[in-house]
Homo-oligomer: A and B are copies of this chain.
Amino acid sequence: MSTGFFLTMNNTGTLFLIPSVIAENTAQSVLPQEVIKMINELDEFIVENERTCRRFLKSIGYAKPLDSLILYTLNKHTDNNELPSFLNSLLEGKNIGLLSEAGCPCVADPGSEIVRIAHENNIRVKPLVGPSSILLALIGSGFNGQNFSFVGYLPVDKNARIKKIKEIENKAIREDQTQMFIETPYRNMQLLNDLLQTCNLYSHLCIASNLTGEDEFISTRTIKEWKNNIPELNKKTVIFLIYK
């Protein structure tokens, strides 16, 4: 792993942005050897969920005793005022890992605030390569990869959601831009239904579910074709993509 050249050189540690697996038992197919080695050298982590972190470290053969780990929990309940203190060890020259619950940290999770504070303190930030369901879905869709948007969750309220779907579809058509979004797994069928009812029959919808897992599914069809062949998406992790 390269050491890198930085504008402001100082004696702080490095904040490693660590991707986690997105499907069970897939570390060897989604994490580079050097990344696994790098994670093994750390013993201080900022994590979304402590239990998932321990399970993940165990799965990649982490050799240090799990009891001696120093873990900081960062999730939507964490008070933002606490965050700067998570970086104390970095200022003292020690390396820390930022680990997501699944996939790459800082994409659709609260990690980016930590990275922002790291930059403000001239702390070196080093993103490591790993699986991102958004990126895998994008390249697997066959849609425009030169112009794309990820807009997160659509509104829960039905009227607001339908309005947003129309807005997204219009953007895909007018701006030639792939539109990506997600839903809580138990609401997938509701969203799919709204998409099939709202979108133009000849717009394209890509459904990418359980990526990198045993039952990975990626398929691009027109709305009309999906209507004749509705997939079961309940409780699956799905990325939805709309394109003209």
Contact = CB atoms under 8 A, between A and B. Distances in A.
Given A112-B144, A145-B106, A145-B107, A129 B217 contact: no
A21 to B, nearest CB: 10
A33 B145 CA distance: 26
Contacts of A32: 28-33
Most chain B CB inside 10 Å of its own CB: which residue of A6, A149, A220: A149
A177 B152 CA distance: 11
A221 interface: yes
Contact of A129 (B29, B107, B118, B229): B29
Contact of A139 (B115, B211, B212, B221): B115
Most chain B CB inside 10 Å of its own CB: which residue of A109, A134, A139: A139
B30 A220 contact: no
Interface string A194-215: 0000000000001000011111
* Interface size grouping (class) on chain A: 35 or more
A97 interface: no
Interface of A: 1-8, 17, 23, 26, 28-35, 104-109, 111-119, 125-127, 129-132, 134-152, 177, 206, 211-221, 229, 231
Contact of A119 (B17, B151, B220): B220
A218 B17 CA distance: 13
A107 B138 contact: yes
B145 A136 contact: no
A137 B25 CA distance: 27
Copies of this chain: 2
B7 A229 contact: yes
A220 B125 CA distance: 10
A129 B136 contact: yes
A130 B35 CA distance: 12
Contacts of A142: 106, 112-119, 125
Contacts of A151: 147, 177
Nearest to A34: B29
Contact of A112 (B6, B34, B134, B145): B145
